[in-house]
Amino acid sequence: MFRAHLRENLDLQLLEERHAPEVFSLIDRDRDYLREWLPWVDSTVTQDDTLSFIRASLEQFASQKGFAAGIWKERQFCGVIGTHKLDMLNRKGEIGYWLGHAFQGKGIITAACRAVVTHLLNEIELNRVMIDCAVGNEKSCAVAQRLGFAEEGLAREAILLHGRFHDLRRFAMLKKDWKPEPLGL
């Protein structure tokens, strides 16, 4: 998936090295906001850290093990969505996402998730897509719920945030249950 047009002025594009400055700029600008739920924020301290992430993501994409796509609204970078732990033998994988604070509450991440889940289930032919959200991260949980993901349970103390372990809520969608809406709605 190199590119996907989600709706007017909203697009996904595979992250490339040239995007590192704007990706890092948003992370740095929204550092306090993002670090509440994202453990990698504290270790992303330079643009080179972001460049390393993008390079690793491109290697992952080249080996067909996943991808990281930037989200652009009106040509302004606003966040990232990508895959984690793709298991082609068992046809399952996880998605993760983050969005800058100023872009919250506009349906952007829901539209991006809808496109990525559709891609994973229909194009990559996965059978199962999962989203894990830290307990208390209600905005992230609401995305999974809006998309019709089933909540499957709690993984106790599964993520380390700021020196404390937190529980994760596990949401999943099966291919047979997915009802994608057409892009552009």
Taken in order of first residue, the domains within the chain and their CATH numbers are 3-127 (3.40.630.30)
Give the model's pLDDT for residue 46: 96
Provide mean pLDDT across the span 173-178: 97
CB count within 10 Å of CB 64 equals 10
Over pLDDT 90: what percentage of the chain?
A: 86
Q: What is the pLDDT of residues 60-84, one digit of tens each?
A: 999 888 999 999 999 899 999 999 8
SS3 content of the chain, % helix, strand, coil (to 5): 35, 35, 30
CB count within 10 Å of CB 162 equals 9
Task: From residue 112, give the alpha-carbon distance in Å to each of 1, 156, 165.
Answer: 12, 28, 29
Which residue is it, tokens 């499957």?
A: 152
pLDDT at 37 over 80: yes
* Confidence band for 179, pLDDT divided at 50, 70 and 90: confident
Best CA proximity match to 162, nearest among 43, 79, 82, 52: 43
Please state whether beta strands 150-161 and 128-134 pair in parallel, antiparallel, or not at all (unpaired): unpaired
Q: What is the pLDDT of residues 101-151, one digit of tens each?
A: 999 999 999 999 999 999 999 999 999 999 999 999 999 999 999 999 999
d(CA 71, CA 161) in angstroms, rounded, equals 25
